[in-house]
């Protein structure tokens, strides 16, 4: 049996059309090495589970995180608990984390894998590669994030060995937000670097979420790591919870127009019209930019 080199893990709940698009972006990404797809479903009721179990190239795990059972409300679990189930079930050397509201731009996976292998061959101790991503609609360029000067991973590729060494995602401290940044900091603390994969891009649909998740995760995160790093102006960071985070921007033109593969109903009409216009003028994009600058 040939073991996968890359395991693509994503969580999903009641976003069937987004999920199908995300899976197709994996299948059509041009991956030429053995890989597997692992989906953690939180108990969807929109047809996702029925579809998933019919997909023979997907390992489907259903972990009911919503609703009732035997006249009792099911206990809600954190994002970390949810994703660790998927992470621990993988077989690949590398684990690629995306979401069901993502689309992988063609070539993203192989570009990340080859960069990881190149860095390892050169003697670098790398625990993760952050993929550049953007919120769509609304953003032109792509970015990766830094918190307190250290790179973290919203979407990207992890060395499975590094995840195992740091004890995976913290399941108990964070409800949702900042668990991914906390994981990155644990990887840094264990002596691994987190770098950016400059040729790997991800689209994130801005309007897939129906409601914001309320939490004090960011304050919990800062209280923990500002003490560990012994940063003197701790109160300044806590009074401005966005102060610790900065972004590295990266310009890229996706000639494959990946965002067009998002479910069309999810795109506001004016964005659909603008998308069609951009597609028509894309071959002349460089000339138009030069004319505007003159």
Residues 107 and 252 in one domain: yes
> In terms of domains, do 270 and 132 share one?
no
The torsion angle over the Cα atoms of residues 205, 169, 79 and 207, rounded to 10 degrees, is -10
**From the CB of residue 292, how many other CB atoms can be counted at a distance below 10 Å?**
7
Q: Is residue 236 part of a domain?
A: no
Q: Is residue 215 part of a domain?
A: no
CATH code, domain with 179: 3.90.550.10
Q: How confident is the model at residue 236 (pLDDT cuts 50, 70, 90)?
A: confident
For the entire predicted model, the pTM comes to: 0.87
**Are 171 and 294 part of one and the same domain?**
no
Q: What is the pLDDT of residue 271?
A: 43
Q: Locate all alpha helices (DSSP H) within 5-132, ordered by sequence.
A: 16-27, 48-52, 79-88, 108-121
Domain identity same for 51 and 180: yes
Position 1 in a domain: no
Q: Residue 293 domain-assigned?
A: yes
- Rg value, the chain, Cα: 20
Rounded Cα gap, residues 175 and 82, in angstroms:
11
Q: Are 167 and 54 within one domain?
A: yes
pLDDT over 90, % of the chain = 74
68 torsion bin: left (phi>0), alpha (psi -120 to 50), beta (else):
beta
pLDDT at 265: 62
| The pLDDT of residue 280 | 46
Whether residue 278 has pLDDT greater than 50: no
Do 21 and 15 meet the contact criterion of CB atoms below 8 Å apart? no
Nearest to 74 by CA among 149, 19, 13, 136: 13
Residues 116 and 255 in one domain: yes
Q: How confident is the model at residue 290 (pLDDT cuts 50, 70, 90)?
A: very low
State whether 255 and 271 are in the same domain.
no
Residues 190 and 283 in one domain: no
Number of domains in the chain: 2
Q: How far apart are CA 109 and CA 98, in angstroms?
A: 11
Note whether residue 122 is domain-resident: yes
Percent of residues, the chain, with pLDDT higher than 70: 88
CA of 142: how far to CAs of 10, 76, 129, 132, 243, in Å?
21, 33, 15, 5, 20
First to last CA, the chain: 60
Same domain, 142 and 273: no
Q: Within this chain, do residues 61 and 158 fall inside the same structural domain, yes or no?
A: yes
Residue 95 falls inside a structural domain: yes
Same domain, 140 and 278: no
Mean pLDDT for 259-278 is 61
Range of the domain at 277: 266-294
Residue 238 lies in a domain: no
217 in a structural domain: no
Statement to judge: residues 257 and 272 lie in one domain: no
């Amino acid at each position: 049996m040939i073991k996968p080199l890359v395991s693509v893990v994503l969580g999903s709940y009641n976003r069937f059309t987004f999920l199908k698009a995300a899976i197709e972006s994996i299948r059509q990404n041009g991956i030429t090495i053995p890989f597997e797809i692992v989906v953690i479903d939180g108990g969807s009721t929109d047809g996702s589970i029925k579809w998933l179990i019919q997909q023979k190239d997907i390992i489907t795990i259903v972990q009911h995180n919503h609703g009732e059972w035997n006249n009792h409300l099911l206990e809600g679990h954190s994002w970390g608990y949810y994703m660790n189930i998927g992470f621990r079930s993988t077989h690949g050397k590398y684990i690629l984390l995306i979401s069901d509201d993502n689309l992988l731009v063609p070539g993203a996976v192989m570009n990340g894998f080859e960069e990881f292998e190149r860095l390892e061959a050169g003697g670098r101790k790398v625990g993760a590669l952050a993929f550049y991503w953007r919120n769509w609609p609304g953003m032109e360029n792509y970015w990766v994030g830094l918190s307190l000067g250290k790179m973290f991973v919203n979407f990207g590729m992890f060395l499975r060995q590094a995840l195992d060494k740091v004890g995976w995602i913290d399941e108990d401290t964070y409800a949702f937000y900042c668990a991914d940044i906390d994981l990155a900091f644990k990887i840094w603390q264990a002596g691994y670097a987190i770098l950016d994969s400059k040729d790997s891009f991800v689209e994130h649909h801005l309007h897939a979420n129906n409601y914001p998740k309320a939490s004090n995760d960011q304050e919990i995160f800062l209280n923990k790591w500002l003490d560990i790093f012994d940063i003197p102006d701790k109160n300044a960071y806590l009074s401005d919870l966005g102060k610790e985070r900065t972004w590295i921007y990266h310009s890229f033109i996706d000639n494959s127009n990946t965002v067009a593969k998002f479910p069309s109903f999810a795109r506001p009409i004016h964005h659909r019209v603008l998308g069609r216009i951009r597609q028509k003028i894309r071959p002349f994009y460089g000339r138009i930019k030069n004319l505007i600058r003159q």
